[in-house]
Amino acid sequence: MNAVIVGGGPAGTAAAITLARGGMATRLIERTTGAHDMVCGGFLGWDALASLSRLGIDAAALGARPITRLRLVAGRQQVEAALPHAAAGLSRRCLDAALLDLASASGAQIERGVAVRSADPERRTVRIQDGSQIACDALILATGKHELRGLARPLALRRATLSVGLRAVLPPSPTRASALTDVIELHLFDGGYAGLLLQEDGSANLCLSVSQERLAEAGAPAVLLADLASELPMLDERIGADIPRALSAIAGVPYGWRARSTTRGVFRVGDQGAVIASLAGDGIALALAGGIGAAEALLANGPGAAANWQTSFRAQTRRPLALAEALRHGAEHPASRGPLMALLRLAPGLVRPAALLTRIG
Ligand SMILES: Cc1cc2nc3c(=O)[nH]c(=O)nc-3n(C[C@H](O)[C@H](O)[C@H](O)COP(=O)(O)OP(=O)(O)OC[C@H]3O[C@@H](n4cnc5c(N)ncnc54)[C@H](O)[C@@H]3O)c2cc1C
Domain 2-159+254-357: which CATH class?
alpha beta
pLDDT at 31: 97
pLDDT per residue as tens, the chain (361 positions): 999 999 999 999 999 999 999 999 999 999 999 888 899 999 999 999 999 999 999 999 999 999 999 999 998 899 999 999 999 999 999 999 999 999 999 999 999 999 999 999 999 999 999 999 999 999 999 999 999 999 998 776 555 568 999 999 999 999 999 999 999 999 999 999 999 999 999 999 999 999 999 999 999 999 999 999 999 999 999 999 999 988 999 988 899 999 999 999 999 999 999 999 999 999 999 999 999 999 999 999 999 999 999 999 999 999 999 999 999 999 999 999 999 999 999 999 999 999 999 998 7
Testing ligand 1's pocket by substitution, the residue of 143, 199, 209 carrying the most ligand atoms inside 8 A of its CB is 143
Domain boundaries in the chain? 2-159+254-357
Testing ligand 1's pocket by substitution, the residue of 278, 282, 358 carrying the most ligand atoms inside 8 A of its CB is 278
Number of other CB atoms surrounding residue 58 within 10 Å: 11
Testing ligand 1's pocket by substitution, the residue of 257, 271, 321 carrying the most ligand atoms inside 8 A of its CB is 271
The whole-angstrom distance between residue 229's C-alpha and the CA centroid of its chain comes to 25
pLDDT at 101: 98
Closest CA to 297 of 8, 15, 10, 9: 15
Q: Please state, in angstroms and rounded to a whole number, the distance separating the CA atoms of residues 206 and 248.
A: 11
Backbone angles phi, psi at 9, to 5 degrees: -85, -165
Q: 9: Cβ below 6 Å to ligand 1?
A: yes
pLDDT at 325: 95
Instruction: Find the length of the chain.
Output: 361
Q: 41: Cβ below 6 Å to ligand 1?
A: yes
Q: How far is CA 281 from CA 45, 137, 278, 338, in A?
A: 7, 33, 5, 22
Q: What spacing in Å lies between the alpha carbon of 126 and ligand 1's midpoint?
A: 20
3-state secondary structure the chain: CEEEEECCCHHHHHHHHHHHHCCCEEEEEECCCCCCCCCCCCEECHHHHHHHHHHCCCCHHHCCEEEEEEEEEECCEEEEEEEEEEEEECCHHHHHHHHHHHHHHCCCEEEECCCEEEEECCCCEEEECCCCEEECCEEEECCCCCCCECCCCCHHHCCCCCEEEEEEEECCCHHHHHHHCEEEEEEEECCEEEEEEECCCCCEEEEEEEEHHHHHHHCCHHHHHHHHHHHCHHHHHHHCCCCCCCCEEEEEECCCCECCCCCCCEEECHHHCECCCHHHCCHHHHHHHHHHHHHHHHHHHCHHHHHHHHHHHHHHHHHHHHHHHHHHHHHHCHHHHHHHHHHHHHCHHHHHHHHHHCCCC
Q: 281: Cβ below 6 Å to ligand 1?
A: yes
Q: What spacing in Å lies between the alpha carbon of 275 and ligand 1's midpoint?
A: 10
Atom of ligand 1 nearest to the CA of 11: 25
Q: What spacing in Å lies between the alpha carbon of 25 and ligand 1's midpoint?
A: 24
Ligand 1, atom 6: nearest CA belongs to which residue? 41
Q: Please state, in angstroms and rounded to a whole number, the distance separating the CA atoms of residues 177 and 198.
A: 7
pLDDT at 229: 94
